[in-house]
């Protein structure tokens, strides 16, 4: 075997799994089709759960140079509430905003330093799986200027196990039979960056009364996440695939432009959007010699659209199960992955799916938000539940 584990995708799920496997002494390769640093459409918000996983990987010091924020400022129905993160015994109460341009390079480099081979500018194009192992076919666009990169062209590697972490558009995952349960929710979100004199505020901001052109309240929210570098990340996320998110973002920008002193016609980059596969809506996420983690497994939190923490968490859990399999546990260790994921998050995500279904009814949504915004103690509890910090 060239490698014990081949990981497809060098985002949060793939790099975290690569780090944990390399740290445990396993021979692991990560295939990433882009060259780092690279843009990734995201709100760039790290909650205490995400910062916990970065601390676990030994990256706490690296976070200090980025923008720290203490909690959430929420607007809705003419009211505003400021709520600090609860002081959770495990996760703590610290949040950061870090662009994915910086964050994903940081974690991928960390995995490489731990001993993982990182093939950047290298797309995995096909996987051949047999009973005893597998082969990953890849195409490299690299000029050879990145450490660990293959030179330009097609090549293949063999591996004992495969971990798919391709993100929301998982081509290899689909080729392994992974499909989405369409009865379950999927979100859509869009964002860009604008310059603002309020770029270093200590709160991330959410606006809960997002409405369509008929003034109907929509299940979702608009956000402004200050980055501390002169820019703010502004976006909207929705649990409804019928609404045009670009138009919704334009309407949201009109609403907040004055208070954030932004020129809505001058985004730093054109807005880009993407899908939010959530609530374990994809399956199967394991086979006799492969596992799926992060967005490719639909692990985004249905309550708030947060995915980075869960990509780190499922990457770490997949690494643990793959490590156990390599240490003699075989396929039975891979079967434990789904079980452990369900133990950790299954019930929470089940409630999350029901929550999404309930707030899909405008009357339920209206009642919940209007009552919640009248009471800070209620909203603080809601925030704890939505960020999975109970």
Ligand X SMILES: Cc1cc2nc3c(=O)[nH]c(=O)nc-3n(C[C@H](O)[C@H](O)[C@H](O)COP(=O)(O)OP(=O)(O)OC[C@H]3O[C@@H](n4cnc5c(N)ncnc54)[C@H](O)[C@@H]3O)c2cc1C
Of 240 and 306, the one with the shorter C-beta distance to ligand X is 306
190 phi and psi angles, rounded to 5 deg: -145, 145
* β-strands 134-140, 122-129 pairing: antiparallel
Question: From the CB of 281, what's the least distance to ligand X, in Å?
Answer: 13
For 61: left if phi > 0, alpha if psi spans -120 to 50, otherwise beta; the answer is alpha
- CA 317 from chain centre, in angstroms, equals 15
Footprint of ligand X (CB under 6 A): 8-14, 31-34, 40-45, 50, 123-124, 165-167, 171-172, 189-191, 235, 273-274, 276, 294-296, 300, 306-309, 311
Q: What is the nearest approach in angstroms of ligand X to the Cβ of residue 90?
A: 18
Shortest Å, Cβ 332 to ligand X = 25
Helix, strand, or coil (residue 382): helix
Minimum Å gap between C-beta 294 and ligand X is 2
> In whole angstroms, how close is the CB of 111 to ligand X at the nearest point?
12
Per-residue CA distances from 148 to 23, 151, 176, 190 (Å): 17, 9, 27, 33
Locus of tokens 């205490």: 48
CA dist., res. 237 & res. 239, Å (int): 7
The residue number with the shortest CB distance to ligand X is: 307
Q: Where are the alpha helices (DSSP H) in the chain?
A: 12-23, 48-56, 60-63, 100-114, 171-175, 245-260, 308-324, 331-341, 347-359, 362-372, 376-386
**Identity of the residue, 33 or 160, whose beta carbon is nearer to ligand X in the bound complex:** 33
Q: Which helix (H) or strand (E) holds 81?
A: strand 79-84
CB-nearer residue toward ligand X: 77 or 102: 102
Angle formed at CA 132 by CA 127 and CA 133, multiple of 5 degrees: 30
The whole-angstrom separation of Cα 274 and Cα 292 is: 20
Indicate the residue among 109 and 370 with the shorter CB distance to ligand X: 109
Task: Specify the residue, 45 or 48, whose C-beta has the smaller distance to ligand X.
Answer: 45
- Phi and psi, residue 184, nearest 5°: -100, 160
Bridging pattern class, strands 3-8 and 67-69? unpaired
Question: Under DSSP, is residue 195 helix (H, G, I), strand (E, B) or coil?
Answer: strand
Q: Between residues 43 and 287, which has the closer beta carbon with respect to ligand X? A: 43
Residue 383 beta carbon to ligand X: minimum distance, rounded to whole angstroms: 15
DSSP 3-state of 319: helix
In this complex, which beta carbon is closest to ligand X, that of residue 50 or of residue 232?
50
Q: Which of 190, 210, 195 is nearest to 257 (CA)?
A: 195
In the complex, minimum distance from the CB of residue 278 to ligand X, in angstroms, rounded to a whole number: 9
Instruction: Tell me the closest approach of the beta carbon of residue 304 to ligand X, in angstroms.
Output: 9
């Amino acid at each position: 075997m060239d490698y014990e584990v081949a990981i497809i995708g060098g985002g949060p799920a793939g790099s975290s799994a690569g780090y944990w496997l390399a740290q445990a002494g396993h021979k692991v390769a990560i295939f990433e089709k882009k060259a780092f640093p690279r843009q990734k459409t995201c709100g760039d918000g790290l909650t205490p759960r995400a910062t916990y996983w970065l601390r676990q990987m030994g990256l706490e010091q690296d976070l200090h140079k980025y923008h720290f924020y203490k909690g959430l400022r929420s607007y809705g129905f003419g009211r505003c509430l400021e709520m600090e993160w609860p002081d959770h015994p495990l996760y703590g109460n610290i949040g950061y905003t870090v662009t994915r341009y910086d964050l994903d390079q940081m974690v991928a480099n960390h995995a490489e330093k731990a001993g993982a081979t990182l093939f950047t500018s290298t797309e995995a194009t096909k996987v051949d799986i047999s009973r005893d192992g597998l082969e990953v076919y890849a195409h490299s666009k690299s000029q050879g200027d990145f450490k660990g990169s293959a030179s330009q062209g097609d090549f293949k590697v063999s591996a004992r196990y495969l971990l798919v972490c391709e993100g929301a558009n998982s081509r290899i995952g689909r080729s392994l039979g992974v499909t989405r349960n369409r009865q379950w929710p999927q979100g859509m979100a869009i964002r860009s960056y604008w310059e603002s004199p309020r770029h270093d505020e200590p709160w991330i901001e959410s606006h809960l009364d997002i409405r369509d052109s008929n003034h109907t309240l929509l299940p979702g929210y608009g956000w402004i996440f200050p980055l501390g570098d002169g820019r703010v990340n502004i976006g909207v996320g929705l649990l409804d695939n019928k609404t045009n998110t670009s138009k919704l973002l334009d309407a949201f920008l009109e609403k907040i432009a004055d208070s954030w002193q932004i020129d809505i016609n001058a985004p730093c980059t054109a807005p880009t959007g993407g899908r939010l596969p959530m609530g374990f809506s994809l399956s199967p996420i394991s086979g006799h010699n492969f596992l799926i983690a992060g967005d490719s497994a639909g692990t985004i939190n249905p309550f708030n659209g947060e995915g980075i923490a869960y990509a780190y968490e499922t990457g770490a859990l997949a690494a643990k199960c793959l490590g156990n399999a390599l240490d003699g546990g075989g396929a039975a260790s891979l079967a434990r992955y789904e079980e452990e994921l369900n133990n950790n998050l299954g019930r929470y995500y089940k409630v999350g799916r029901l929550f999404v279904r309930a707030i899909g009814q405008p009357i339920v949504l209206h009642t919940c938000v209007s009552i919640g915004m009248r009471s800070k103690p209620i909203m603080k509890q809601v925030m704890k539940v939505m960020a999975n910090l109970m």
